[in-house]
C-alpha cells in the first residue's frame, strides 16, 4: 500500500513539474503600433511625437535594415468589409529608410518596445473645410 501511495505521489509531482515548465515558456510579444509625427530621424533611430489631451509624448525607436518601410500612395484599393460593405484603403508601396523625413505622419509597428519592425508613411490628408466653405 505504501508503494502504491509513493507511486501516486511521484506521478502527481511529475505532472506538476511538467505543467510548471510549460507555463514558463517564453511567449511571443504581441504586435503593437503607434501613430504620430516624425520629430527626429538619424541613421539608427526614429523619434515619434504624439499629441493629445495630456500633452506631447515622444517615443524613440531603433531602426535598421530589418525595419520594413511602407509608403501610402494617392491611389485607393476597394476592399470588402463586414456585411459586404465596400471601403477604400490606400495602396502602399515599399520604400527605404531614406524616405522617412521629419514632420511626416507615420505609424510604427513593433513587438519589442523601442525596436521598430515596420514604419508606414501616411499620405498627406487634405485640409478640412471650415464651416460655411464649399
Average pLDDT over residues 112-121: 94
Q: In what order do the strands lie in the sheet with 45-52?
A: 55-62, 45-52, 32-41, 105-110, 118-121, 68-80, 86-94
What pLDDT was estimated at residue 6? 47
Q: Where are the domains of the chain?
A: 32-121
| Residue predicted with more confidence, 54 or 24 | 54
**pLDDT tens, position by position, 38-84:** 999 998 999 999 998 989 999 999 999 899 999 999 999 998 888 88
Q: pTM of this prediction? A: 0.71
Dist. CA 116–CA 119, nearest whole Å: 7
Helix (H, G, I), strand (E, B) or coil at 10: helix
The angle formed by the CA atoms of residues 7, 13 and 14, to the nearest 5 degrees, is 90
Q: Determine the pLDDT at residue 18.
A: 54
Amino acid at each position: 500500500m505504501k508503494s502504491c501511495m509513493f507511486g501516486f505521489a511521484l506521478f502527481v509531482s511529475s505532472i506538476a513539474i511538467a505543467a510548471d515548465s510549460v507555463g514558463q515558456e517564453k511567449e511571443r510579444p504581441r504586435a503593437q503600433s503607434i501613430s504620430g509625427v516624425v520629430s527626429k530621424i538619424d541613421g539608427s533611430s526614429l523619434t515619434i511625437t504624439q499629441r493629445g489631451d495630456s500633452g506631447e509624448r515622444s517615443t524613440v525607436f531603433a531602426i535598421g535594415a530589418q525595419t520594413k518601410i511602407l509608403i501610402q500612395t494617392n491611389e485607393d484599393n476597394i476592399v470588402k468589409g463586414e456585411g459586404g460593405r465596400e471601403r477604400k484603403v490606400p495602396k502602399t508601396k515599399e520604400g527605404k529608410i531614406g524616405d522617412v523625413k521629419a514632420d511626416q505622419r507615420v505609424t510604427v509597428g513593433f513587438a519589442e518596445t523601442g525596436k521598430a519592425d515596420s514604419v508606414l508613411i501616411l499620405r498627406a490628408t487634405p485640409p478640412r473645410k471650415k464651416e460655411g466653405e464649399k
